[in-house]
Amino acid sequence: MLELNPVLTGLRTYPFVRLGEARRRLEAEGVDVIDFGIGEPREETPPFIRQALVDAIEPLSAYPLAEGLPELREAAARWVGTRFGVALDPATEVVPTLGAKEAIFSLAQVVGPGKVALTVPGYPVAERGALFAHREVVELPLRAPDFLPDLDAVPWDELALLWLNYPNNPTAATAPPEFYARAAALALAHDVVLASDEAYSELWFEGEAPASALQVPDRANVLALHTLSKRSSMPGYRSGFVAGDARLVAGLKSFRPNVGVAPQTFVQRAAVAAWSDEQHVEDVRRVYRAKREALLPALLEAGLRPAGGHASFFLWLAIPDGWSGSEAFAMALLDEGMVVAPGAYFGPAGEGYVRVALVPTLARCREAAERLSRWRAAPR
């Protein structure tokens, strides 16, 4: 009998697959569905980025180098310098990636022996990558009000890799610079890699711009991952980069040719254009702020309570009292043609919450607010 990898067969169904199946069932029944469940940006990619990609298509299509175009590494380093005040060597401290997801999944295959710690509730890819690398996973709970892990509770001596993710998915919380500095110092003292998924760093609605792990006094053992998917509305381009400790970046450069995940050259040239412009990013923030302002009051009127932070394009909300769980609440909203992600989909620590992704258009967010104003579901 043919057998598959037991890690694969033992995985739970990817939670967002379940959301997609529920949506398709409703649409087959003729229901007009507004989907706040999956965090996929649906804003148009700016025209100048699309044009840069078209202009970069050449008659001869060569394999891209795993280390990426020098122009892209330089553009990423310039952006980090401008945005975070950190000077990076583009030749040794930056490597382009096929978005952030593949780099998050594969990092556990690159670092030395030990367990992988990650925060919960959280983005499931870091855990799945650790399991496929045959690493034991340590869960670090995030709790209100700050949704930061307790660094004193981390089993540092057992770890190879600690994952952080701020602005956080799903809680929308941010991490202050002093938290990154302490985490990096502890990681270095115990020879642990500190990896920071910063995919949502350019989306925030209150306070100062989110910080980066790259701003710590000593970047030894530190990596940060950035992507254009949210910042520049480019999810289908699959373009990002990893930056930080030159030794770790060199390890990634050695690993990546084996798995063939270098971005296409024409995508890299479009990414150069995207990292080199900030006006379109300000426009993106303005759109998400308008969506938040249109929808959040209606969600609160429906009995949900704000529980997370003020960054990313997610709202992390506590469900009203009396409901049996986050999935029951989400199913009740589904009956009204609105998809939200139950907090339980992100692990047991997410129970009691729902995540709302502000990805439908502004008009659809306003329509959802109108539906919510008429919604009177009894707890179940």
Kindly give the interhelix angle for 279-301 and 362-373, rounded to the nearest 10 degrees: 10
The structure tokens listed for 175 are 């991490």
| CATH 3.40.640.10 domain extents, the chain | 60-277
| Mean pLDDT, the chain, whole residue set | 94
Q: Which residues pair with 115 in a beta bridge?
A: 159
| CATH 3.90.1150.10 domain extents, the chain | 6-44+280-373
- Number of Cβ within 10 Å of residue 17's Cβ equals 11
Q: What is the pLDDT of residues 64-112, one digit of tens each?
A: 998 999 999 999 999 999 999 999 999 999 999 999 999 999 999 999 9
Question: Do the strands 341-342 and 314-318 form a parallel or antiparallel pair, or are they unpaired?
Answer: unpaired
Q: What is the pLDDT of residues 139-191, one digit of tens each?
A: 999 999 999 999 999 999 999 999 999 999 999 999 999 999 999 999 999 99
- Class of domain 6-44+280-373 as given by CATH: alpha beta
Residue 21 and residue 24: Cα distance in Å, rounded?
5
- Class of domain 60-277 as given by CATH: alpha beta
Q: What is the pLDDT of residues 183-220, one digit of tens each?
A: 999 999 999 999 999 999 999 998 899 999 999 999 99
Full-model pTM: 0.94
Q: Which of 180, 171, 125, 193 is nearest to 151 (CA)?
A: 180
From residue 49, alpha-carbon distances to 42, 45, 98, 273, 356 in Å are 16, 7, 17, 6, 28
Nearest 5°: phi and psi at 159?
Answer: -95, 150
From residue 133, alpha-carbon distances to 5, 120, 247, 259 in Å are 12, 19, 20, 14
